[in-house]
C-alpha cells in the first residue's frame, strides 16, 4: 500500500508556483492576486478560506479576504462581485460555498466574470471543461487528476467508481476521468443517494473516488484487493478530547481499507491540500493570461 501524500505533493506544486512568481517579478510583471469572498461565520468555511489566503502568502501572491455578514442581501453581494469583476488588480477570485439560504447560489456564480473564475464553477468554464477546451478546472477534481498523474497511476481502461454527483466534485471528476486525456480514459460509474447496489459497485471498481460526506462509509469488505482509493470526504466530528474540539474524518475507514489498497489518500493530508495548490495554479494561469 502506498499513501498518496497530498500534503507533500501540494508543497512541491506550491514551490513550482513560487518559482514562477519569482520569474514574473524578475521580468517586472505583477504578482498574481487572488481574492476570496466569505459570507457568514461557518467554522469549516473560515478554516478553508484561511488556508487559501495563507497559501497565497507562501507562494508570493497578493490576497484579499472579503468577509461579509451572514445577513447580507443578495444585491449587496452582487455589488461586491461586480467590484471584483471591475478591479483590474484582482486576477481571480472565489466565492466560498455554501452561501446562506436566502442567497441564490446559481445567480451569484453566474455573475462571476469567467476570466476571473478560478474555481471553474461558471457555466462557461464548466462547459468548456466538458468540451475539452482550455478552461479553469474546479480545484478539487483538478487536484485529484494531478495526483493521479504525478504518482503515475494508470487509469486507462480502468473501472472508476465516483460516489457523489455534486457540481464541485462528483460531476466534474466523473467527466474528467472519462475524457481522452492521458490520465482519463477510465470507464466511469457515478453512484449517488439513489444508487441501490453501492457495495457491489465498490467491489467491482479499480479506482474509487468518494465525495459523499459520510464518515467511514467505505469499509474493508466493500473494496477489492489492489484498489486505488481517493477520499474527498471531510466531516468534522465533535471530540472533546481533541485539541480543536473536533476530529476530521474521511468517507473511508482508512485503517482497514488501506490494508487492501494499492494507493490511498489519507484524511487529512490527501485531497484537501491538493485543492488549495490547484486553486493557486488556476490563479497563476489567470494572471499569465493578462500579460
The secondary structure of residue 268, as a DSSP letter, is S
- Active-site residue identified among 91, 117, 119, 231: 119
The C-alpha atoms of residue 152 and residue 125 are separated, in whole angstroms, by 27
Write down the least CB distance from residue 50 to ligand GUN, Å: 13
Write down the least CB distance from residue 173 to ligand GUN, Å: 12
Site size toward ligand GUN (CB under 6 A) is 9
- Active-site residue identified among 80, 91, 96, 117: 96
Residue 95, interface with ligand GUN (CB under 6 A)? yes
Check if the beta carbon of residue 212 is closer than 8 Å to that of residue 227.
no
The C-alpha atoms of residue 215 and residue 231 are separated, in whole angstroms, by 10
The residue range among 11-19, 95-103, 146-154, 177-185 that interacts with ligand GUN, by the rule CB under 6 A, is 95-103
Which listed residue (34, 77, 103, 168) binds ligand GUN by CB under 6 A? 168
**Binding string, residues 136-165; x marks residues near ligand GUN by CB under 6 A:** ---xx-------------------------
Our answer to whether residue 240 is catalytic in this structure is: no
Residues near 101 by Cβ (< 8 Å), separated by ≥ 6?
Answer: none
Which listed residue (63, 80, 96, 258) binds ligand GUN by CB under 6 A? 96
Check if the beta carbon of residue 247 is closer than 8 Å to that of residue 212.
no
Check if the beta carbon of residue 160 is closer than 8 Å to that of residue 207.
yes
Q: Looking at beta carbons only, is 91 or 119 nearer to ligand GUN?
A: 119
Q: Looking at beta carbons only, is 66 or 198 nearer to ligand GUN?
A: 66
Check if the beta carbon of residue 161 is closer than 8 Å to that of residue 132.
no
Burial 75-101 (b: 16+ CB within 10 A, else e): eebeebbeebeeeeebbbbbbbbebbe
The C-alpha atoms of residue 95 and residue 242 are separated, in whole angstroms, by 30
The residue range among 65-73, 94-102, 122-130, 174-182 that interacts with ligand GUN, by the rule CB under 6 A, is 94-102
Q: Looking at beta carbons only, is 98 or 226 nearer to ligand GUN?
A: 98
- Active-site residue identified among 14, 52, 249, 281: 52
What phi, psi does 149 have (nearest 5°)? Answer: -65, -50
Q: Looking at beta carbons only, is 109 or 205 nearer to ligand GUN?
A: 109
Q: If DSSP codes are grouped into helix, strand and coil, which group holds residue 15?
A: helix
Residue number closest to ligand GUN, CB atom:
97
Q: Does a cis peptide bond (omega within 30 degrees of 0) precede residue 98?
A: yes
Write down the least CB distance from residue 97 to ligand GUN, Å: 4
The C-alpha atoms of residue 254 and residue 270 are separated, in whole angstroms, by 12
Our answer to whether residue 119 is catalytic in this structure is: yes
Instruction: Note the Cα 220 to chain centre separation in Å.
Output: 26
Our answer to whether residue 52 is catalytic in this structure is: yes
The residue range among 69-77, 89-97, 205-213, 251-259 that interacts with ligand GUN, by the rule CB under 6 A, is 89-97
Pairing of strands 261-264, 246-249: unpaired
User: Which residues of this chain interact with ligand GUN, rule CB under 6 A?
Assistant: 94-97, 119, 139-140, 168, 275
Show which residues are catalytic. 52, 96, 119
Amino acid at each position: 500500500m502506498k499513501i498518496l501524500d497530498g500534503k507533500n505533493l501540494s508543497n512541491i506544486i506550491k514551490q513550482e508556483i513560487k518559482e514562477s512568481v519569482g520569474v514574473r517579478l524578475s521580468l517586472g510583471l505583477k504578482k498574481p492576486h487572488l481574492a476570496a469572498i466569505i459570507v457568514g461565520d461557518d467554522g469549516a468555511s473560515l478554516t478553508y478560506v484561511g488556508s487559501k489566503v495563507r497559501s497565497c502568502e507562501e507562494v508570493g501572491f497578493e490576497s484579499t479576504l472579503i468577509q461579509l455578514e451572514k445577513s447580507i442581501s443578495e444585491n449587496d453581494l452582487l455589488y461586491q462581485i461586480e467590484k471584483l469583476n471591475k478591479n483590474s488588480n484582482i486576477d481571480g477570485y472565489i466565492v466560498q460555498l455554501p452561501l446562506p439560504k436566502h442567497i441564490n447560489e446559481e445567480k451569484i456564480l453566474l455573475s462571476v466574470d469567467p476570466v476571473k473564475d478560478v474555481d471553474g464553477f461558471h457555466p462557461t468554464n464548466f462547459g468548456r471543461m466538458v468540451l475539452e477546451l482550455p478552461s479553469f478546472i474546479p480545484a478539487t477534481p483538478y487536484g485529484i487528476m494531478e495526483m493521479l498523474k504525478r504518482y503515475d497511476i494508470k487509469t486507462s481502461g480502468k473501472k472508476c467508481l465516483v460516489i457523489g454527483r455534486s457540481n464541485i466534485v462528483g460531476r466534474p471528476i466523473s467527466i474528467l476521468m472519462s475524457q481522452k486525456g492521458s490520465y482519463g480514459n477510465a470507464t466511469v460509474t457515478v453512484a449517488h443517494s439513489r444508487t441501490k447496489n453501492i457495495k457491489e459497485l465498490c467491489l467491482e471498481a479499480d479506482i474509487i473516488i468518494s465525495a459523499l460526506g459520510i464518515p467511514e462509509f467505505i469499509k474493508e469488505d466493500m473494496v477489492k484487493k489492489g484498489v486505488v482509493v481517493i477520499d474527498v470526504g471531510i466531516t468534522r466530528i465533535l471530540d472533546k478530547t481533541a485539541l480543536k474540539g473536533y476530529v476530521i474524518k474521511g468517507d473511508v475507514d482508512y485503517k482497514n481499507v488501506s490494508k487492501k489498497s494499492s494507493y490511498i489518500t489519507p484524511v487529512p493530508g490527501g485531497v484537501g491540500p491538493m485543492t488549495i495548490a490547484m486553486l493557486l495554479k488556476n490563479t497563476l494561469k489567470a494572471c499569465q493570461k493578462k500579460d
